[in-house]
A and B are shown apart, each in its own frame.
Chain A
Amino acid sequence: MTRNARFIDERITLKYGTGGGSMRALIEQVFAKGLGDVGDDGIGLAAMDDGAAIRIGDQYLVIATDSHVVQPIEFPGGDIGRLAISGTVNDLAMMGATKPLALTCAVIIEDGFPRDDLKRIWESIRATCEEAGTTIVTGDTKVMGHGELDGLVLNTTGVGLTKRLVSDAGLRAGDKILVTGTMGDHGLAIMATRNELALETTLESDVAPVHTLVRRALDVGGEGVVALKDPTRGGLSSALHEMAEKSGVGIILDETAIPLREEVRAVGEILGIDPLVSANEGKAVFGLRPDCAEAVLDAVRSHPLGRNAAIVGECVSERPGFVVLDTGFGSRLLAEAEGELLPRIC
């Protein structure tokens, strides 16, 4: 059960989709209730991991699914297509399935959507599939009336195989936390494009498939990699809160060690949004046994997508489920994002 036992409001509002505590409560109390599970050896809905796993012989079949509703559809650094493919490839990787077998893609298109935009997004999907070493094998196409949907919605499902499953619940006191690069890039890049904010920036989304990076870490760290998660909606904060809660440990983060782009921090300060609750779409968070941490760090840094990797925290037995941020000036509890990310204003 989640730390703050919430009850579900009469009407499902936007906050239930933001990836934080409310969403988890909704899944626990509504979606997962009463559904049969996958058996002792697998990972099912109730675990609320990045994907599911079903045992087949001496391996696990890993399945992950995502719907993508990002607005704007095309943004600095990427688009909804690249986001869709990367997102699912990464979800599979976060369970340990770093060689995606195949993807599906269902599209729901709004009546009036420009053909050339669709082609451009599809080209991005093709390119990202190639980059990820996978392809789309089946899908579905629907068109809804004008105004019934905002442009385009994509759903992708991916499957992969792995001999070793890595969950997000394997931490224990003493384990180290590693992030593969700068935090908050995607979420703040999206916020910065909102016209009414009139900010001129060069911020870009970090959207990318990181499965080969995870592979490298798993090859070097082996059983020492005890937890894996990608810090998407809700950012590093959500990812760590989930890991801490499920594992029954507290986490202390060294804020000064967390890699951040200057511009991301600047936009975050101006908008009043903490980069640590802002989404990342090309990063991973690892929980590592202390004896393999440095080796994994070196391995990750040697990968083009992991140049700014850093060890940023440690697990402790106190305050299980909580994440404490050592700011360099003092400490505070790291907050989780609640509700829509509205810039803080007077």
Chain B
Amino acid sequence: MNPSDAFAQMKFRDPKRARGLRDALERLVQGADHAPVSVMHVCGSHEQAIAKFGLRAAFPQELQVIMGPGCPVCVTDVPEVDEAVALAKQGVRIASYGDMLRVPGTSQSLADAKAEGANVDVVYSVTQAVDLAREHDEEIVFFASGFETTAVATAAILVDDPPDNFSVLSAHKYIPPVMEIVAEMPETKIEGFLAAGHAATITGSAVFEKFVERHGLPVVIAGFEPLDVMAGLVKLLEVINSGEPRVENAFPRCVTREGNVHAQKLLWRVFRPTGGRWRGIAHVPNGNLRLRDEFAKYDTRKRFTIDASALWSYAPPKLVQQCQCGDIMAGIASPSDCQLFGKECTPDKPVGACMVSAEGTCRIWHQYGGRPDLRSMKRGAA
């Protein structure tokens, strides 16, 4: 087989292999000495892949695959959103990834500000935001959301001599620190982690080795095709059952131990990790990425005086207090545990960030039916 044909022939979506892997999962779960076996993934795209291919309906009943705080839009905290909203209302033109538009701040989202006349552009890449700055004289602020993989793109732009009217409002986040937090939570029953393949493409698998040593919890890095996800889970269960926690790379075509060194250098040249709040997860040491002093010239927070106080005069809606996004993102609650889920909080009228983002647990559960028992619905039964 010509290796490159593997892509063309969609081998990573081969249903037969998928069935084999599913059976392997079943056997491994039966072979564990307890039930349920709980594992966590920390990547919105893993949840999307699971949802899109309907994998949850195929997982064994005794396997719980919990989604952790892996949706960057969902964990962008209220003050960060307020900064962007305040700037927009101050008359500054904001460019943002589409998903961030509807995330609620204290009282408003960027979409709300846009509906009131603020100039907000949706972009699909940071390069588009730079193009906007080149095409127009006015200031363009790029509201930079996303985890480390996306931060690399922002970094690449910043070292490439962007125009003077361009600046970055960084809300980028870094995943490994939050895994520490989840691992240390007293209520946590997580026995192993599935790590995001694309982030690991940049950071390398080595970045998880200390974590595994400290917490005795295995980490398996997986890709996003359905076979990648299934294989990653099979590997994870194997390692859990073996009692010998370690880091395993189940995405060898993209992830190496040292990762993309060039991209790492770029990332850490431009950004420094700093502690900060994640929505619903309180303080995450080194979880936020901010621009280093060398790039102060392009730092929105240094270029503008952002006055978000006007936004705080609105009383926060009562519903927000009942919102369980925090617990859901930490994996200790499911969307169905939240009183607001599907009733006051829907994709139409989201209360919490988990319902806003296309990768948010609540949104995905609402759209795809969470983990409905679809096993009984078979064609030809009528």
Listed in ascending order, the chain A residues whose CB lies under 8 Å from chain B are 4, 6, 13, 15, 22, 173-174, 196-197, 250, 252, 254, 256, 272, 274, 313-319, 322, 324-333, 335, 338-339, 342-346
Whether A326 contacts B347 by the Cβ 8 Å rule is no
- Give 1 or 0 for each of B104-143: 1 = CB within 8 Å of chain A CB: 0000000000010000001110001000000000000000
- Count of chain B residues with Cβ under 8 Å from any Cβ of A? 50
> In the assembled complex, how far is the CB of residue B172 from the closest CB belonging to chain A, in whole angstroms?
10
Q: How far is the CA of A324 from the CA of B376 in the complex (A)?
A: 11
Contact of B377 among A250, A274, A342, A345 (CB under 8 A): A250
B36-80: which have CB < 8 Å to A?
48, 51-59, 72-73
Most buried by B among A197, A314, A317, A333: A333
Number of A-B residue pairs at CB separation under 8 A: 112
Whether A338 contacts B57 by the Cβ 8 Å rule is no
> In the assembled complex, how far is the CB of residue A233 from the closest CB belonging to chain B, in whole angstroms?
17
B369 contacts across to A, CB distance below 8 A = 322, 332-333
> In the assembled complex, how far is the CB of residue A24 from the closest CB belonging to chain B, in whole angstroms?
13
- Give 1 or 0 for each of B1-38: 1 = CB within 8 Å of chain A CB: 00000000000010100100010000000000000000
Check B358 for interface membership: any CB of A closer than 8 A: yes
Contact of A331 among B15, B374, B381 (CB under 8 A): B374
Residue of B nearest to A175 (CB): B382
A272 contacts across to B, CB distance below 8 A = 358
Whether A328 contacts B367 by the Cβ 8 Å rule is no
- Enumerate the 3 nearest inter-chain pairs by beta-carbon distance, A residue then B residue, closest first: A330-B58, A330-B54, A333-B369
> In the assembled complex, how far is the CB of residue A294 from the closest CB belonging to chain B, in whole angstroms?
15
> In the assembled complex, how far is the CB of residue B373 from the closest CB belonging to chain A, in whole angstroms?
10
Whether B98 contacts A330 by the Cβ 8 Å rule is no
Whether A332 contacts B98 by the Cβ 8 Å rule is no
Contact of B146 among A314, A329, A346 (CB under 8 A): A346
> In the assembled complex, how far is the CB of residue A251 from the closest CB belonging to chain B, in whole angstroms?
10
Residue of A nearest to B382 (CB): A174
Most buried by A among B51, B73, B98, B374: B374
A318 contacts across to B, CB distance below 8 A = 376-377
Check B368 for interface membership: any CB of A closer than 8 A: yes
Q: How far is the CA of A342 from the CA of B101 in the complex (A)?
A: 11
Given A343-B98, A345-B97, check contact A330 B379 (CB 8 Å): no
A317 contacts across to B, CB distance below 8 A = 382
Residue of A nearest to B48 (CB): A344
Whether B58 contacts A329 by the Cβ 8 Å rule is yes
Q: How far is the CA of A36 from the CA of B136 in the complex (A)?
A: 54
Contact of A4 among B99, B150, B346 (CB under 8 A): B346
